[in-house]
């Protein structure tokens, strides 16, 4: 009977509650700057949701969704500690609204409820069923140590540090809090385990408070404008307003100092963007943007950009991004003279469950800000546009076996294709039912002056979901003026999962090449909450 009265009390509050729900999916496709996942609107994912790429209990990358369909999503990469690969697991936390049940007209009066709750044994149970806190926090804290050792100690580097990632969500008030930073020092030329007189290398990559109710989005702090990448980091304000399938916004503020710690007022930034989903039946988004940067009171760069993303259309995924610098240095002036700075386009087609093919093209030329070239003669500024192609083929043979190849020819001083790279990867999962994952790679490449080739093997094994070990071997040969220089690396990665929250990861590499021998160690003890 007491339980019935407690449930009735919860209903009479008639609040719209919300719960944070964890959803899981896979990385389905990767293009330059964009990662596609199997999480979509049906799973509860929405635009701007943070998505985590995980391996075991370790977060290896942080993504932010900028376009969603019913079954998939396109995400931008905010940071990553390891390369993001196909089929990697992704996790996101989404807000799931729960409406309380209708109030029963036969419920006891408020006075009756208060009388029952005043009894000590009932009051204690009411405390146990209290509402969630105003803001729920999750994140990670990791203690890190990095060092590289040489035979000559003057080349040694040592970097201990602490990395912090914290996100707060208030479902009721649509408020988010984001912090991603590290505290670390870097010492050089010391043989000590912790070098003395280390230089401060601490960074604050993001520290912001955001209000997002689905219509209005306001963020204050150190932010990365999602729809205006030309702006880069901003210490300031972002404001956007959604009108159906159109989102328009502005961001303005200062560029962080070179040390990524304090606020600098030397560079001022402003950006405008419009994100449009022109067709209801097609998962297509188009985002034109404008950005201007001032160095003190003088225009330092002015640029227009265009981003087009299409995914989930009968196995086709497409990505296009381009930037046009609107100004060019002409003698001592920074005059209007629009020119392409960079362009990248990639289309991937999932022909069958066993085969996917992709083709891409890119073009780029050096980008200069006016403050860095003001006193440089125009004749010394490189302005030639370089172009390239990318041809990708992936075959999934089943039973964890896959083969992929990426061939990338580029333009050069002599002819197109003389500069190129070609990378092939063979992956075999659960070799002979042993639980071992085997990957091999072969790479070829050339420039106007050099030729390169390499091969490697990676063996990975997980033990009872508690330990994960990878052994690596890589050889690269670089030929310059007929002389072959070999670089050889032997290493391992290990991870121990003490609990759902605690993990220890370690990575060691010994590299021999160019007359040097180096030993590199990285460790992190992390706690996730």
Question: Which pLDDT belongs to residue 279?
Answer: 81
Question: Which pLDDT belongs to residue 95?
Answer: 66
Distances (CA, A) of 42 to 39, 71, 310, 482: 8, 6, 18, 58
Instruction: Give the C-alpha separation, 399 to 433, whole Å.
Output: 10
User: 236-287: per-residue pLDDT in tens?
Assistant: 999 999 998 899 999 999 999 888 988 899 999 999 999 998 887 778 889 9
Q: Band of the pLDDT at 193, cuts 50, 70, 90? A: confident
Quick check: 12 pLDDT over 60?
A: no
**What contacts 323, CB < 8 A, 6 or more positions away?**
230, 303, 304, 305, 340, 341, 342, 343
- Whole-number average pLDDT of the chain: 83
Angle between helical axes of 120-128 and 2-13 (0-180°, round to 10): 50
User: 314-349: per-residue pLDDT in tens?
Assistant: 778 888 999 999 999 998 899 999 999 999 999 988
Closest CA to 48 of 151, 152, 174, 153: 174
Among 122-136, 159-173, 480-494, which is the least confidently predicted range? 122-136
Question: Which pLDDT belongs to residue 13?
Answer: 36
Domain ranges within the chain, ordered by starting residue:
2-16+99-128
Q: Band of the pLDDT at 414, cuts 50, 70, 90? A: confident
Among 61-75, 327-341, 370-384, 421-435, which is the least confidently predicted range? 61-75
Instruction: Give the C-alpha separation, 255 to 291, whole Å.
Output: 13
Closest CA to 307 of 326, 328, 293, 321: 321
**What contacts 62, CB < 8 A, 6 or more positions away?**
50, 51, 52, 53, 77, 78, 79, 80, 165, 180
């Amino acid at each position: 009977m007491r339980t019935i009265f407690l449930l009735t009390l919860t209903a009479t509050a008639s609040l719209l509650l919300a719960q944070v729900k964890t959803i899981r999916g896979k990385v389905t496709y990767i293009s330059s700057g964009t990662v596609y996942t199997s999480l979509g609107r049906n799973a509860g994912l929405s635009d701007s949701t943070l998505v985590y790429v995980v391996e075991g209990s370790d977060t290896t990358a942080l993504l932010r969704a900028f376009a969603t369909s019913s079954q998939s999503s396109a995400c931008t990469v905010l940071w990553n500690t390891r390369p993001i690969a196909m089929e990697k697991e992704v996790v996101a936390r989404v807000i799931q609204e729960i409406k309380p049940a209708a109030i029963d007209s036969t419920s006891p009066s408020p006075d009756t409820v208060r009388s029952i709750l005043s009894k000590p044994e009932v009051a204690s149970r009411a405390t146990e069923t209290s509402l969630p806190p105003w803001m729920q926090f999750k994140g990670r804290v990791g203690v890190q140590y990095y060092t590289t050792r040489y035979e000559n100690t003057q080349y040694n580097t040592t970097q201990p540090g602490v990395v912090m990632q914290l996100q707060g969500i208030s479902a009721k008030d649509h408020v988010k809090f984001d912090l991603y930073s590290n505290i670390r020092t870097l010492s050089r030329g010391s043989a000590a385990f912790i070098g003395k007189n280390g230089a401060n290398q601490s960074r604050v990559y993001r520290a912001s408070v955001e209000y997002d109710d689905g219509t209005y989005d306001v963020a204050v702090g150190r932010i990365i404008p999602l729809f205006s990448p030309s702006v880069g980091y901003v210490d300031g304000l972002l404001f956007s307003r959604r009108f159906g399938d159109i989102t328009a916004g502005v961001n303005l503020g200062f560029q962080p100092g070179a040390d990524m710690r304090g606020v600098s007022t030397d560079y001022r930034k402003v950006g405008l963007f419009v994100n449009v989903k022109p067709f209801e039946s097609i998962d297509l988004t188009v985002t034109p943007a404008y950005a201007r940067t001032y160095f003190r009171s003088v225009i330092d760069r002015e640029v227009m950009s265009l981003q087009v993303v299409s995914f989930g259309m009968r196995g086709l995924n497409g990505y296009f991004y381009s930037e046009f610098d609107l100004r060019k240095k002409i003698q001592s002036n920074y005059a209007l003279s629009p020119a392409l700075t960079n362009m990248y386009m990639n289309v991937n087609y999932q022909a069958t469950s066993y085969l996917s093919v992709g083709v891409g093209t890119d073009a780029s030329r050096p980008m200069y800000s006016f403050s860095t070239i003001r006193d440089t003669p125009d004749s010394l500024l490189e302005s030639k546009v370089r172009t390239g192609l990318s041809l990708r083929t992936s075959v999934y043979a089943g039973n964890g076996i896959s083969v992929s190849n990426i061939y990338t020819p580029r333009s050069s001083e002599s002819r197109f294709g003389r500069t190129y790279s070609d990378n092939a990867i063979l992956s075999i999962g659960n070799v002979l039912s042993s639980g071992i994952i085997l990957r091999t790679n072969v790479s070829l490449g050339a420039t106007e002056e050099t030729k390169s080739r390499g091969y490697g093997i990676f063996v990975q094994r997980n033990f009872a979901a508690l330990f994960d070990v990878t052994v690596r071997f890589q050889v690269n040969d670089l030929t310059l003026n007929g002389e072959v220089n070999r670089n050889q690396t032997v290493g391992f990665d290990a991870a121990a999962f003490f609990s759902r929250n605690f993990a220890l990861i370690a990575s060691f590499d010994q590299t021999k090449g160019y007359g040097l021998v180096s030993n590199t160690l990285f460790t992190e003890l992390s706690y996730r909450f």
